[in-house]
Structure 1
Amino acid sequence: MPIRAICFDLDNTLWSIDPVIKQAEKALFDWLRQHYPKIPKQFSVNELAKRRQRLLEEQPELLNNLGLLRKMGLAQAAVEAGYKAEIAEPAFEIFQQARHQVTFYPDVLPVLKRLQKRYILGTLTNGSADINRVGLGDIMSFSLMASDVNAAKPHPALFEAACQRASARPEEVVHVGDDEDCDVAGALAVGMKAVWLNRIYKTPSGKYQPHAIITNLGELERLLQTWESTL
């Protein structure tokens, strides 16, 4: 069946997330030191991460809204340090501003701009990245977060919502992502074509059988051409 749409994961698929989060944490702590210094004196980055993990264990549904999870952790830390919980909102926005300062992998923008001419493009993420804030708003037709459907990948809800937004059947949609357990498993479960973007040459787990394994988006273009030639 012809391919109508392609959806992409974001973090570690279109950009490397670790340096982004590291810089965002630094920006947040610099801001806290200036405005609410008792918080960074009392809590380190690791301690706040452990706090979020405890919250997640107590409320597993927060996995579906990682932004809310982070705000709740900040609110708790603020109260314990003697501030009002409400400061979590501006603190989170400082984090988000830096979190959206991403550096795309070199292959990303050229390929997406070419694919945009032939397919409906969209994004699916368990994170909190906003495509408009990273500069993809003019390329992507839709963007879905786990918080939009109250279910994180690999739950089928996010993938089914993508098909609805693209007005396409699952077999007409390709999903591209870096995570076998979230992206490949979720796409296969609903009948999409699953493409594992394995930029760092991980050894396949063997748990799933993606339709293809690629290491960059240039390979995706060639793969699509091959599939189309067989129709």
Structure 2
Amino acid sequence: MLNLSKIQAITLDLDDTLWPVWPTIARAEVVLQDWLALHAPQTALFCAEPGMKQAIRAEIHQRHVDQHHDLSFLRREAIRESLLRAGDAPHLADAAFEVFFTERQNVKLYDGVPQALARLAARYPLVSLSNGNADVFRTEAGPYFQAAVSARTFGVAKPDVRIFHAAAAQLNLPAEAVLHLGDDAMTDVMGAMNAGMQAAWVNTQGHAWPHDSAQPLTVSHLADLCDHLLS
């Protein structure tokens, strides 16, 4: 299903492709709440109210529709809004966000992913391509990557074809020479194919293929794709 002869490099999504994202976010939320309890106790109490954090985030997303590609900005502004409403100093938002962001990089790779990345990196240049705000070079996956492109820094998010073309440009390659791997059927798979790349679906969650188009090469783990690419 892939034309292996054309593939000269690989781009990879991060969250839910290389590691499960929600346990990471949950840990970062706990670390942030603990920090607020020490430095902004009124905000810690405010954020502990049921549904309050979700309501603040929804309001910030609505207020900043032009920043939806930048999850770091949205998170920082949600913290700032919480500080303001609780009566704590809003300038604490930057320090609070850094506490959250540092823990957000403390990801736990799926079993076998380091070995799979090592195999792929020995054959192909790898570039991370993410809508999230993880910094791959601050994770244990970092040594296997040559470059990173993120929606936050580029200014648009997948499935916009421009971000895929930007990743190919990092490699000095045309889009058709790049294979993209990711867990999201729309933003990763369809986005990459619309940009002229080949794509494979790393379906770690066991979802059904949601589109009318033919299902691409699908694996449940990155190691399975290594076997297909490197056999």
**2:152 is equivalent to residue 169 of structure 1:** no
Aligned-residue sequence identity (percent) comes to: 32
Q: Distance in 2 between matches of 1:90 and 1:188?
A: 40
Question: 1:204 is matched by which residue type in structure 2?
Answer: W
Q: Is the 8 A contact 2:209 2:215 kept in 1?
A: no
Provide the residue aligned with 2:207 in structure 1.
Answer: 202
**Greater CA drift, 211-220 or 118-127:** 211-220
Kindly state the Cα deviation for residue 136 of structure 1 after the two structures are TM-superposed.
2.8
Provide the residue aligned with 1:229 in structure 2.
Answer: none
Provide the residue aligned with 1:3 in structure 2.
Answer: 7
**Greater CA drift, 171-180 or 135-144:** 135-144
SS at the partner of 1:22?
helix
Question: 1:108 is matched by which residue type in structure 2?
Answer: V
Q: Which of 18, 30, 49 pairs up with 2:34?
A: 30
Kindly state the Cα deviation for residue 32 of structure 1 after the two structures are TM-superposed.
0.4
Q: Is the 8 A contact 1:193 1:211 kept in 2?
A: no
Q: Which of 146, 155, 162 pairs up with 1:141?
A: 146
SS at the partner of 2:45?
helix
Provide the residue aligned with 2:71 in structure 1.
Answer: 66
Unaligned runs of 5+ in 2: none
Kindly state the Cα deviation for residue 147 of structure 1 after the two structures are TM-superposed.
1.6
Q: Which of 191, 196, 200 pairs up with 1:191?
A: 196
Question: 1:4 is matched by which residue type in structure 2?
Answer: Q
| Cα 1:51–1:207 shift into 2, 3 Å | farther
Question: 1:33 is matched by which residue type in structure 2?
Answer: A
Kindly state the Cα deviation for residue 183 of structure 1 after the two structures are TM-superposed.
0.5
Q: Which of 44, 63, 66 pairs up with 1:40?
A: 44
Question: 1:165 is matched by which residue type in structure 2?
Answer: Q
Unaligned runs of 5+ in 1: 227-231
SS at the partner of 2:108?
coil
Kindly state the Cα deviation for residue 217 of structure 1 after the two structures are TM-superposed.
1.2
Q: Is the 8 A contact 1:154 1:182 kept in 2?
A: yes
SS at the partner of 2:149?
strand
Q: Distance in 2 between matches of 1:33 and 1:93?
A: 16
Q: What is the RMSD computed on CA atoms of the aligned residues?
A: 1.5
Question: 2:221 is matched by which residue type in structure 1?
Answer: N
Kindly state the Cα deviation for residue 208 of structure 1 after the two structures are TM-superposed.
4.2
SS at the partner of 1:7?
strand
| Cα 1:207–1:46 shift into 2, 3 Å | farther
Kindly state the Cα deviation for residue 2 of structure 1 after the two structures are TM-superposed.
2.5
Kindly state the Cα deviation for residue 9 of structure 1 after the two structures are TM-superposed.
0.5
Trace 1:52-131 onto structure 2 (pairs within 5 A): 52-131=57-136
Q: Is the 8 A contact 2:46 2:52 kept in 1?
A: no
Question: 2:109 is matched by which residue type in structure 1?
Answer: F
Moved >4 Å (runs of 4+): none
Q: Distance in 2 between matches of 1:27 and 1:112?
A: 29
SS at the partner of 2:142?
coil
Given the two structures, how large is their TM-score scaled by the length of structure 2? 0.93
Q: Deviations over 1:33-74 (max 9, x none)?
A: 111100021223742222112221232222110000000011
Kindly state the Cα deviation for residue 206 of structure 1 after the two structures are TM-superposed.
2.3
